[in-house]
Every structure is written in C-alpha cells, then in structure tokens.
Amino acid sequence: MLYREAGQFKTSYRADQQIFPILQDRIGMLVLGFVALVGVPLVASEYWLTAILIPLLVFSLAAIGLNILTGYAGQLSLGTAAFMAVGAVATYNFQLRVPGIPILVSFLLGGGTAAAVGAVFGLPSLRIKGFYLAVATLAAQFFIPWLLVKVSWFSNDSASGVITTQPVEILGFTFDTPLRKYLFALVVVSVLALVAKNLVRSHIGRAWMAVRDMDVAAEVIGIRIVRTKLVAFAVSSFYCGIAGALYAFAYLGSVETDGFNLDLSFRILFMIIIGGVGSILGSFLGAAFITLLPILLDVALTEGATALGLQLPSGMTSMVQLVVFGALIIFFLIVEPLGLARLWQIAKEKLRLWPFPH
C-alpha cells in the first residue's frame, strides 16, 4: 500500500534512468541520509561510533571496491587487503613528504597509487581466470606487505615499522573526535558509493558485466577486453586504497602492515558474498553483517551465560564463537546464496503487494 509505484509516470528518459526511479526509494534514501548525518550523531555513543560505525563504513567501501572487480567484472581477487595497505601507506607518505598538501589530495593520490599497483597485479587476469587467478592475486597479498615492511622508508624508518598517522585537517578544521571522524568517513564513503553506483550503470560498468558474463561474446561486440579488465582492477584498487587510507586515518590512527593480511582479504570477500555479488547495496549489507555478527555473538554469549548464571570455562566462549560464526556463514550461504541484497529485493517485491497478496 505504501510502497507502490502505480501512478508514478516517467515522462523523460532522464527520469526513467535515475538511480532510484521509485519515489518511495528516494524518500527512503533521504531519510537514511538524514539519520546517518543528524540522527546518529545525536544518539550514538562513542563505542558505537569508534568500534562499529566507522569500521562498518570503511569495510563497506573496501567491499564496494572488491565488488566492482569480482561482482561486476567477474575477476576473483584475494589481494584486497594488500591494496588497502598500499592506499594507507601511500597516503601517509604523501602527507608526510609533500609539504602543505591537503589531506583529501593525499587520499586521492593514495588511491591512485593503489590503482596503479592494482593494474599491475591485474595483468595476469589477461591470461588466467577463476581460481588460478584468485591464487595468483595471493602473490600481491604476500609480496606487497613484505615490501612495505622491508623498505623502512615507507614507514619513515620507525623502529617498530608501525606508522602513526597524521591528523585529518581540512581547511583548518580537525577531524579528531570520534564523531568528527565518523562524519568524515561518512561523507567520503557516501560520495564514493554514489560514484560507484553511477559507474556501474555507465558504459564502463556495462562493459565489465559483458566481460564477466562471457568474455568472448564481449570481444565480438567490440569491447576491448584488455582495457576493460585493467580498468576494473584499477578502479577496484582505487576504492580499496581509499578504504585503506580511511582505515588508517579515520579508524585506527595507525598503520601496521601485518594487519593487512589474508584474513582481512577473506573478511571482505565474505562481505560481498554474504551481501550480494554485483550489488552496491549488498556491499553495505555484507559489511554490516560481517562486522556486527562476531560482536553480537560475543555479547549474546556473555550475556546469556550471565543471565543463566553459568560460568563458562575461560577461553571456551571464544572458541564456541568461532564455531558458531563458521556455521552461520555456511548456513547463510545455503539459505540465501545470492546474498542479503537478494533478500532485500524479495522483501521489496512482497512490500509492493502488501497488504493484498493477490
């Protein structure tokens, strides 16, 4: 009843092709934007900002990056964390070594560096596909952190190799409190997500999908495979690079190269699989799911044990959590292999008919 598109007529191509063609969606997005910009800062505690919302935004961005490559262009990659590391370290170094450079320019340059590195490691995709490519991207995952640790210039010769990032300052305004950092991350991620959404609807995005669905056919209709694949790698790495920079500057405040490990790459891959391959919305949903699930499990288990008056053997909770997390992932893949984005789609279709199912 509420969510019905009947009566909304499109009179121009422009109107027909906007991102949210349905009025209710537009209202929904506005409300969501309002809540994120105004509502959250009013109610969220420091814990929610620092420990949940900021990482959620950062991981969403990284997931969008990987989704561009895997979901839209069909190239499986296990090197996401390495490209994030490149972005973080490059941004730090631009900020450190170029005097007076605005931080946003550093971010863009950091992302650009990651894009360049990503394109280089994308070269094998011209020859190989599928799991062979996935394992090949592991070369990036192992080589890049090694290089970043080995050349101490990257970390400004700090004895421990861990970088403490510079403050984020734009036009004299410092983003130092959790709330300010959250707003900074929110704006960066929103803008980039909007760009990504438009990118995948443009001719580039359609070329990616054509290559994903059948590369030979794509070539036949005049898509240049080499360029399309490399652009996908570059754009994807750009997003991951920015996400890495945000991870360092807005979230942790430090860069420890060893933190950008294979586990992180897997986590981000999980996000897009659970969220929905080939969906920008899914990237956000997946990031939320993977970030929140372990915390919820932890809290639920501890609370449950306290409520029931049980004293779990120390350490047992952590292991049970791991078991449940693994089981839930499998369960979820079985129940909805197309991801949360698909669930959302189903919900929308049901909503369209509600409350008269026939």
Partner 1 sequence: MQFFFEVLIGGLLAGVMYSLVALGFVLIYKASGVFNFAQGSMVFFAALTYVGLQEKFGLPGWAVFGLTLAVMVVLGIAIERVVLRPLVNQPQITLFMATIGLAFFIEGLAQVIWGTQVRRLDLGLQDEPIAMLMDRFNMLVSKFDVVAAVVAGLLVAVLAVFFNRTRIGRALRAVADDHQAALAVGIPLKQIWAIVWSVAGFVALVAGLMWGARNGVQFALTFVALKALPVLILGGFESVLGAIVGGLIIGASEKLAEVYLGPHLGGGIEGWFAYVMALLFLLVRPEGLFGEKHIDRV
Partner 2 sequence: MAWKKTALAWIAGLTLAAGSLTAVAQQAGTQFVGITGYRVGPYGANGAAFFGGFTDYLQLVNARDGGINGVKLSWEECETEYNTAKGVECYERLKARADTGPTAIHPMSTGITYALLDKAPADQVPLITFGYGRTDATDGRVFPWVFPLMSNYWDAATAIIKFIADKEGGEGGLKGKKIVLLYHDSAYGKEPHAVLEAEAKRRGFDLEMIPVPHPGNEQQSQWLQIRRIRPDWVILWGWGVMNATAIQTAQKVGFPRDRMVGNWWAGSEIDTEAAGPAAKGYYAASLNLAGKKFPVVQDIEKIVYGKLNVGGDPKLIGTVLWNRGVAAAMFTLEAVRTAQAKYGKKPMNGAQVRWGLEHLDLSAKRLQKLGFGAMLPPIKVSCENHGGSGEVRFQQWDGSAWQAASDWMKGDSALVHRMIEESAAKYAAEKGIKPACLGG
Q: How far apart are the C-alpha atoms of 61 and 147, rounded to whole Å?
A: 25
Q: Is 252 in the site for partner 2 (CB under 8 A)?
A: yes
Please pick, from the candidates 320, 346, 347, 353, the single residue that binds partner 1 as defined by CB under 8 A: 320
Q: Reduce the DSSP state of residue 149 to 3 states and report it.
A: helix
Of 289, 290, 276, which Cα lies nearest the Cα of 338?
276
What does 50 bind: partner 2, partner 1, none (CB cut-off 5 to 8 Å by kind)? partner 2
Min dist. Cβ of residue 107 to partner 2 (A): 19
Min dist. Cβ of residue 258 to partner 1 (A): 12
Q: Is 159 in the site for partner 2 (CB under 8 A)?
A: yes
Min dist. Cβ of residue 156 to partner 1 (A): 18
Q: Reduce the DSSP state of residue 173 to 3 states and report it.
A: strand
- Site map for partner 1, 232-271, x if CB under 8 A? ------------------------------x---x--xx-
E strands of the chain, at which residues? 163-164, 169-170, 173-174, 254-255
Size of the site for partner 2 (CB under 8 A): 47
Q: Is 20 in the site for partner 1 (CB under 8 A)?
A: no
Is the CB of 31 or the CB of 296 nearer to partner 2?
296
Cα dist from 57 to 7, 41, 261, 286, 301, whole Å: 36, 15, 19, 11, 26
The three state secondary structure string of 194-261 is HHHHHHHHCHHHHHHHHHHHCHHHHHHCCCCHHHHHHHHHHHHHHHHHHHHHHHHHHHHCEECHHHCC
Cα dist from 264 to 79, 105, 107, 231, 297, whole Å: 9, 26, 21, 23, 19
SS3 content of the chain, % helix, strand, coil (to 5): 75, 0, 25
Please pick, from the candidates 221, 222, 334, 357, the single residue that binds partner 1 as defined by CB under 8 A: 334
Min dist. Cβ of residue 32 to partner 2 (A): 18
The torsion region of residue 108 among left (phi > 0), alpha (psi -120 to 50) and beta comes to alpha
Min dist. Cβ of residue 159 to partner 1 (A): 17
Q: Is 126 in the site for partner 2 (CB under 8 A)?
A: no
Q: Is 353 in the site for partner 2 (CB under 8 A)?
A: no
Q: Is 318 in the site for partner 2 (CB under 8 A)?
A: yes
Is the CB of 168 or the CB of 207 nearer to partner 1?
207
Task: Let me know: does 249 contact 61? Beta carbons within 8 Å.
Answer: no
Min dist. Cβ of residue 240 to partner 2 (A): 16
Q: How far apart are the C-alpha atoms of 86 and 65, rounded to whole Å?
A: 14
Backbone φ and ψ of 214, nearest 5°: -165, 105
Q: How far apart are the C-alpha atoms of 311 and 292, rounded to whole Å?
A: 25
Q: How far apart are the first and last CA of the chain?
A: 13
Q: How far apart are the C-alpha atoms of 268 and 260, rounded to whole Å?
A: 11
Q: Is 292 in the site for partner 2 (CB under 8 A)?
A: yes
Please pick, from the candidates 25, 215, 219, 256, the single residue that binds partner 2 as defined by CB under 8 A: 256
What does 277 bind: partner 1, partner 2, none (CB cut-off 5 to 8 Å by kind)? partner 1
**Which positions lie near partner 1, rule CB under 8 A?**
70, 76, 124, 127-132, 134-136, 138-139, 142-143, 146, 150, 214, 216-217, 262, 266, 269-270, 273, 277, 315-316, 319-330, 333-334, 337
**Which positions lie near partner 2, rule CB under 8 A?**
45-48, 50-52, 55, 146, 149, 152, 155, 159-162, 164, 251-254, 256-259, 263, 292, 294-300, 302-303, 311, 313-315, 317-319, 321-322, 331, 335
